[in-house]
Amino acid sequence: MIVLGLSGAVSHDASAALYIDGKLIAAAEEERFLRDKHAKGKLPREAAKFCFEQAGISPDQVDIVAFPFAEIGLDSPARWHYAKRYWYAPDRSLTALFNGNRRYHRNHEQVMALLDELGVGSQRVKFVPVEHHLAHASSAYHLSGFKEKCAIIGIDGKGEYATTFFGYGENGKIHKIKEFYDPDSLGGLYGAITEFLGFDMLDGEFKVMGMAPYGDPNRFDFSRLIEHNGEDFRVNTELVNCVGWRRYKENGKGYYFSPKLIEWLGPKRQGDEIDDPYIDYAASIQALLEKVALELIEYYLGDIIRETGKVCFAGGVALNVKLNQRIIAMENVKELFVQPAASDAGTAIGAASYASVEASVPVEKMEHVYLGPSYTNEQCIEACEKHEKQPKWERVDNGPEVAAKLLADGNPLAWFQGRMEFGPRSLGCRSILGSPSHSGVADRINAQIKYRERWRPFCPSMLDRVAPEILQTDHPSPYMTFTFDVAEEWKARIPEVVHEDGTARAQIVTRDTNPRYYALIEELEKLTGNGVILNTSLNRRGEPMVCSPEDALNMFYGCDLEYLMMEDILIRKVEG
């Protein structure tokens, strides 16, 4: 049975994923092909074509198309909650009651047209709409590999109406316990403050999280933003998560916070520096998110966690690695699985896995996210020969050894290998690398290559045999979805990948899942004594991660990188 999952239901992060008989064959985000961050307003046309090509099938072989957005009936409390809470915007309130989620009908029409364009056949194929948060839940639970009963958390901005989901998985079935509805959204609250702090929603939340350790969470009391009692919460829409005339507007753009927030906290932050009082605001919103989320998790899922110790998490807020560290630290939590593509891109996998299971075809555990396109040496050479810069290239026989020597000498290196990662993290296939024991390499990558804020942290990839000593835990971490406290003796050895608060967002690398990357880190260990490498995504600020050799070359010549290795092809800007 072939199941195609398509995301893009909420106008961003379009992606496609393909299952054949329960095996995830391919998955990719549309942004990588369009070179347009988040592919806003797009459907995953090119991503779907890639999936068909990778699987070696024709579009008319697809049996089921799953889409992570469903109709919500009038009998659902979601529509009534939305209408009541948005009383001050009667156009939205009445629409929710009388027309429902109109976006579903628009989405359905557009997806049907896409299926006909792709050759899938909208009248032939079975179309399965999946509730947005059920898709998130499936992407976590069904791919976790957990066989026992486990707790499921879903927190994001919003789907149809739901913003927060608590449930459990057992015997392949997902059971809802509790949902919260828009505008009462922890993701929306964090996103609104992200905008106030001068960043874009969808991207800037990571920056707020990175800024928070520099601030004092106790300097400002953010409790007026949200009423909460451990069982329920209600966002203050006088300040945040507001719509229409309540929104603060600047240069023709409306924000998800009100002028009253400006009156309370002062002007919206400008620029790239981590300055007072904004670092304390970042610390305060991070602390508030952790406090409310942990209270709710304990209330709704505490008994299940005490019973099994297994937890799954998806939705955009699941990419908040500081919150994840706090969840792992909860008493009785034995293991937390976070869907690596936890944002809406991952709902393509979630919808497809949910539909597959519903059709009585269980899906395999997610073992890796190397699900995108790959390129041969010959294709890399062809891209070099066609590129306007006419790069000087050489083919090397011992790529990991050559790369390790460059890194050990203090050089950043663009590393383009194998199949592209699915999700927001570079995990050793589309990466910029550095030696974390070489002082100043992080500042150089931030300033001269990534062109991003100088205070942003970098992450370590480390060999599985050294990770327990460095991170002081045996908890799995293949996808950079958690932070861990770094052992004191290691902080001085790998300072370039230890954040202000002494933590690191680590990827633990195994030989089985990425043998070439593992070999590179081993070679670097021979030269530096540390089985750790600095790893950040192969892109510049504001751009998607690179996909093709052409993308890699364009990025390479658009920054101060001096070395690029594409498969066995080494390109230098310097003689040597």
Q: Is the Cβ–Cβ distance between 313 and 327 less than 8 Å?
A: yes
Q: Name every residue whose Cβ is closer than 8 Å to that of residue 216 and which is 6 or more positions away in sequence.
A: 280, 283
CA-based nearest residue to 551, from 536, 563, 569, 566: 566
Q: Is-cis flag, bond preceding 277, omega within 30?
A: yes
Based on the residue annotation, tell me whether 142 is a catalytic residue of this protein.
no
Whole-angstrom distance, CA of residue 101 vs CA of residue 70: 9
CA distance linking residue 122 with residue 117, whole number of Å: 9
Which amino acid would we find at residue 178?
K
Could you give the 3-state DSSP secondary structure of residue 46? helix
In this structure, the strands spanning 2-6 and 563-566 are unpaired
| Cβ(153)–Cβ(166) below 8 Å | yes
Rounded Cα distance, 503 and 66, in Å: 39
Tokens 């309370």 correspond to 264
CB half-sphere exposure, 444, CA atoms < 13 A: 18
Asked if residues 436 and 496 have their Cβ atoms less than 8 Å apart, the reply is yes
Residue corresponding to tokens 């998955």: 27
Place of tokens 């024991």: 437
Q: Which amino acid is residue 287, in one-letter code? A: A
Catalytic residue, from 12, 132, 438, 499: name it. 12
Task: Report d(CA 336, CA 328) in Å as an integer.
Answer: 6
| Placement of tokens 């100043």 in the chain | 440
> DSSP string of 155-218?
ESS-SSSEEEEEEEEETTEEEEEEEEETT--HHHHHHHHHHHTT--TTTHHHHHHHHGGGS-TT
CB 495 within 8 A of CB 439: yes
CB count in 10 Å sphere of residue 48: 30
- How far apart are alpha carbons 397 and 389 in whole angstroms? 25
Q: State the DSSP H helix or E strand holding residue 551, giving kind and residue range, or none if neither.
A: helix 549-556
Strand ranges for 343-482 from DSSP E: 393-395, 413-416, 430-434, 459-463
**Cα 492 from Cα 487, distance rounded (Å):** 10
Q: What is the DSSP letter of 367?
A: -
Contact between 417 and 567 under an 8 Å Cβ cutoff? The reply is yes
Distance CA(148)–CA(153), nearest Å, equals 16
Residue 461 corresponds to which tokens in the numbers above? 């990839």
d(CA 532, CA 530): 5
Report yes or no: 186 and 197 within 8 Å, Cβ to Cβ.
no
Structure tokens at 338: 């976070």
Which residues are known to be catalytic? 12
